[in-house]
Structure 1
């Protein structure tokens, strides 16, 4: 199993649009953090789909260690 690479040790604050679908990078290799750019190709890690129900500011995990994928749960504090 491939281990994800922490992209950063803090969350990404993103303003999401209602009804839009986002794909959170779970591998940490994407150059478009916190979103997938296909860099996971060749690994066994896949992005996590998230559809925003309302326009809002959300905090996507940057360390890739969260239990609440795709959102930050503070796991970066233990890295």
Structure 2
């Protein structure tokens, strides 16, 4: 992701329901219309989505500012924008 210069999709995280064992693709470029998940809009951006498998079923707060140090989860980085 070194060539990735992500857009800020939103300046707050989004609550999503995840299912344990299911694989998800988090948008790293900020261009997806299906935030916080990838819809393929990263093509040509130098960014790639981040694949992750949910460890447990339930609510999770995913980053939309694309500045988190705990991809794909919010770590409060949006508070510095």
User: TM-score over 0.5 for the alignment?
Assistant: yes
- Give the CA RMSD over aligned residues: 0.8
Of 19, 40, 60, which residue of structure 2 is paired with 1:38? 40
Q: 1-side partners of 2:62 and 2:50: how far apart?
A: 11
User: Segments of 4+ in structure 1 off by > 2 A?
Assistant: none
Of 4, 7, 18, which residue of structure 2 is paired with 1:5? 7
Q: 2-side partners of 1:46 and 1:70: how far apart?
A: 13
Q: Secondary structure at the match of 1:77?
A: helix
Q: 2-side partners of 1:67 and 1:54: how far apart?
A: 20
Partner residue in 2 for 1:77: 79
TM-score by length of 1: 0.95
Deviation of 1:56 (Å): 1.7
Report the number of matched residues: 79
Q: Which segments of 5 or more consecutive residues in structure 1 lack a partner in the other structure?
A: none
TM-score by length of 2: 0.92
Deviation of 1:53 (Å): 2.1
Q: 2-side partners of 1:10 and 1:53: how far apart?
A: 23
